[in-house]
Amino acid sequence: MKRWQCVVCGFVYDEAVGMPEEGIAAGTKWEDIPENWCCPDCGVAKSDFEMAEA
């Protein structure tokens, strides 16, 4: 399971945790999140996320 960080605001998407409140189940891989998804904190598009340092 990987972690991804929004390069703009620092929000972290943790694949292990998912985002149940947005309908994204725990364990959902990054590549399975829809392309039109945006960072819930700042609105940055999925393409502007980067892999977070472990």
41 binding another protein? (CB under 8 A) = yes
Strands of 1-54 (E only): list them.
Answer: 3-6, 12-14, 49-51
How many binding residues for another protein (CB under 8 A)? 15
Spatial distance between the Cα atoms of 8 and 24, rounded to a whole number of angstroms: 21
Cα first-last separation, the chain: 11
Residue 18 DSSP class:
-
Q: Is 50 in the site for another protein (CB under 8 A)?
A: yes
Closest CB to another protein among residues 7, 30: 7
Check residue 9 for interaction with another protein (CB under 8 A): yes
Residues found near another protein in the complex (CB under 8 A) = 7-11, 21-22, 38, 40-45, 50
